[in-house]
């Protein structure tokens, strides 16, 4: 390949012309030179063995059409065709007015359900108070009934006592009682007679000065008392012999009537207490029923409250769907709607493509497909840039029109430097035979040996190289360059050794 350069004749002739002029430029080396703008690239090693030189169009790794889940009027469209978007970024919004109203209505429903729930709780508390009050009424009525029954018993006892007294008055005194009364009279008279004798004796002694005035007075007092005892005993005997008076009978009969009235009053009190107990029991039953109703109402209110919460969550979820967010990080491929457009749920708005990875479908002749496997590395180039891809899928059938089989190659594109639609070349690497490859336009042929210009500390350094085979529009450098060297790939034909250069690029 050393001297066979039919494609480089023009470039070599131009380089010779520039070399002939170099002597004149050297003579003015003392003058300050302006740096020449050139493009440089960093030297790397690449595979020297490649087969299946194929081409294809770059495609997004995945495509998706996005649409609103709810209908409405498109309020804004935030991105355009070609814009890069991140996952979760907002692409478009619907007018949220109607959905905001639904959220507010749901919030009002929650407030109403909460109020009903609070009312049910208050009703339950009131019913509990009513049950407690009714229980207290029942207990109080039981105590009143016990007290009335005790009063009835006491009234019955008074009636019996009064009736016994009345019967006794009607019957009169017994003979034994009469005899005892007569005996009492006799004893009182005997005591009086004895005291009369003793008094007369003390009086005689007093008159003679043999007894004191006090002794005489004491005897007189005893005699007076004995006389009263005789009168009392005679009166008691007279009463027993005469029997009860009408007044006594009326008084005892009145006592009977009073006792009967007390009995009737106690009976009435018991009846009232029994009625009060019945009322208290009825009130308790009513309070229990009210509590059961309040508990049932609370259950309904609780269900309504929970349903209102769900309704609000649904309304808020629907409201959130008025914003259309990107499901992927990629690029806008198509814009399918516009601001002010009324859309229904599911109407397509954007077509997005994921471009942090790209893919290319390579049409591989069916006779070569046996050499391809999923996971194979593929060298993909676009202009002077090369990326390493990987076989992701091999289609299971042959294309009827071309007789080829499609092979999907995935290419990393984190810098988003490549875009869908660009045509790339692809080579499947079959060995690890690597070497230095540089663009063919970087090599200048002048005289016997080809050379390149390296950019070293801002100056062009002419460097002779030994070349090998031409591979995919790149020339194999057998010697003269090392990996990492900065080589001028465009603008070298304007340079002389030592010229100052202003490098742009620095790409691999």
- Do 453 and 491 contact (CB within 8 A), yes or no? no
Q: Please give the DSSP secondary-structure letter assigned to residue 31.
A: S
Residue 412 has a pLDDT of 95
Mutual angle of helices 246-320 and 97-171, in 10-degree steps? 170
Could you identify the residue written with the tokens 């042929």? 445
Residue 257 has a pLDDT of 83
- Helix extents (H) in 21-96: 22-27
Residue 101 has a pLDDT of 94
pTM as predicted: 0.48
- Bridge partners (DSSP) listed for residue 354: 62
Residues 503-507: contacts with CB under 8 Å, at least 24 apart: 503/38, 503/39, 503/40, 503/455, 503/458, 504/37, 504/38, 504/39, 504/40, 505/39, 505/40, 505/41, 506/40, 506/41, 506/42, 507/41, 507/42, 507/384, 507/385
- Do 107 and 127 contact (CB within 8 A), yes or no? no
Domains of the chain: 1-49+435-508 (2.40.420.20), 50-93+324-430 (2.40.50.100)
Q: Please give the DSSP secondary-structure letter assigned to residue 212.
A: -
Residue 26 has a pLDDT of 41
Digitized pLDDT (tens) for each residue of the chain, 508 residues in all:
333 333 333 333 434 334 444 434 444 443 467 888 999 989 888 766 555 578 899 999 899 999 999 999 999 999 999 898 989 999 999 999 999 999 999 999 999 999 998 998 999 999 899 999 989 989 998 998 888 889 888 888 888 887 777 676 666 667 787 788 889 889 988 998 998 898 998 888 889 888 888 888 888 889 899 898 888 888 887 777 666 667 767 777 788 888 888 888 888 988 998 998 899 999 989 999 988 998 999 899 999 999 999 999 999 999 999 999 999 888 899 999 999 999 999 999 999 998 889 999 999 988 888 888 999 999 899 987 889 999 999 999 998 888 899 999 999 998 889 988 999 998 876 666 678 888 888 899 876 789 999 999 999 999 999 988 777 678 889 999 999 999 999 888 888 889 999 887 544 4
Residue 73 has a pLDDT of 96
Residue 430 has a pLDDT of 64
Question: How far apart, in whole angstroms, are the C-alpha atoms of residue 34 and residue 500?
Answer: 7
Q: Is 386 left (phi over 0), alpha (psi -120 to 50) or beta?
A: beta
Strands (E) in 318-448, as ranges, are 323-325, 330-335, 342-343, 348-365, 377-382, 385-394, 404-412, 423-429, 434-439, 444-446
Question: How far apart, in whole angstroms, are the C-alpha atoms of residue 312 and residue 105?
Answer: 8
How is 397-417 classified by DSSP, letter by letter?
S--TTT-EEEEEEEEE-TT--
Dihedral sign for Cα atoms in the order 176, 182, 183, 185: positive
Residue 25 has a pLDDT of 45
């Amino acid at each position: 390949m050393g001297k066979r350069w039919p494609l480089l004749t023009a470039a070599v002739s131009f380089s010779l012309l520039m070399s002939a002029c170099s002597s004149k430029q050297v003579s003015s080396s003392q003058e300050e030179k302006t740096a020449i703008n050139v493009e440089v690239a960093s030297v790397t090693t690449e595979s020297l063995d490649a087969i299946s030189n194929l081409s294809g169009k770059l495609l997004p790794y995945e495509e998706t059409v996005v649409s609103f889940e709810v209908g409405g009027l498109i309020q804004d469209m935030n991105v355009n065709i070609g814009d890069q978007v991140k996952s979760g970024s907002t692409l478009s919004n619907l007018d949220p007015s109607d959905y905001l109203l639904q959220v507010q209505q749901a919030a009002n429903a929650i407030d109403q359900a909460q109020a009903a729930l609070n009312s049910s709780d208050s009703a339950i508390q009131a019913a509990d108070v009513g049950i407690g009050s009714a229980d207290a009424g029942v207990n109080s009525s039981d105590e009143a009934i016990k007290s009335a029954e005790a009063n009835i018993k006491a009234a019955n006892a008074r009636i019996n006592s009064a009736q016994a007294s009345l019967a006794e008055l009607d019957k009169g005194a017994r003979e034994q009682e009469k005899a005892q009364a007569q005996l009492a009279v006799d004893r009182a008279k005997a005591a009086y007679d004895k005291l009369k004798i003793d008094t007369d004796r003390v009086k005689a002694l007093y008159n003679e000065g043999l007894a004191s005035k006090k002794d005489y007075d004491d005897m007189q007092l005893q005699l007076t008392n004995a006389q009263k005892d005789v009168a009392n005993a005679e009166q008691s005997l007279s009463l027993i012999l005469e029997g009860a008076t009408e007044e006594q009978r009326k008084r005892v009969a009145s006592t009977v009537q009073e006792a009967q009235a007390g009995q009737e009053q106690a009976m009435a009190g018991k009846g009232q207490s029994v009625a009060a107990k019945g009322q208290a029991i009825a009130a308790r039953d009513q309070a229990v029923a009210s509590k059961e109703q309040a508990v049932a109402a609370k259950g309904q209110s609780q269900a309504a409250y929970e349903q209102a919460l769900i309704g609000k969550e649904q309304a808020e979820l629907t409201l959130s769907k008025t914003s259309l967010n990107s499901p992927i990080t990629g690029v806008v491929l198509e814009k399918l709607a516009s601001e002010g457009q009324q859309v229904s749920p599911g109407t397509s708005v954007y077509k997005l493509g994921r471009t942090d990875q790209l893919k290319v479908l390579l049409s591989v002749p069916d006779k070569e497909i046996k050499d391809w496997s999923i996971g194979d590395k593929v060298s993909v180039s676009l202009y002077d840039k090369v990326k390493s891809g990987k076989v992701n899928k091999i289609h299971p059938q042959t294309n009827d029109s071309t007789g080829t089989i499609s092979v999907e190659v995935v290419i990393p594109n984190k810098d988003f430097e490549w875009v869908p639609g660009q045509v790339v070349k692809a080579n499947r690497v079959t060995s690890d035979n690597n070497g230095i490859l540089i663009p063919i336009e970087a090599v200048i042929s002048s005289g016997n040996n080809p050379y390149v210009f390296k950019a070293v500390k801002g100056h062009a350094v002419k460097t002779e190289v030994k070349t090998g085979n031409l591979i995919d529009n790149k020339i194999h450098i057998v010697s003269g360059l090392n990996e990492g060297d900065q080589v001028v790939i465009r603008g070298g034909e304007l340079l002389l050794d030592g010229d100052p250069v202003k490098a742009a690029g620095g790409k691999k």
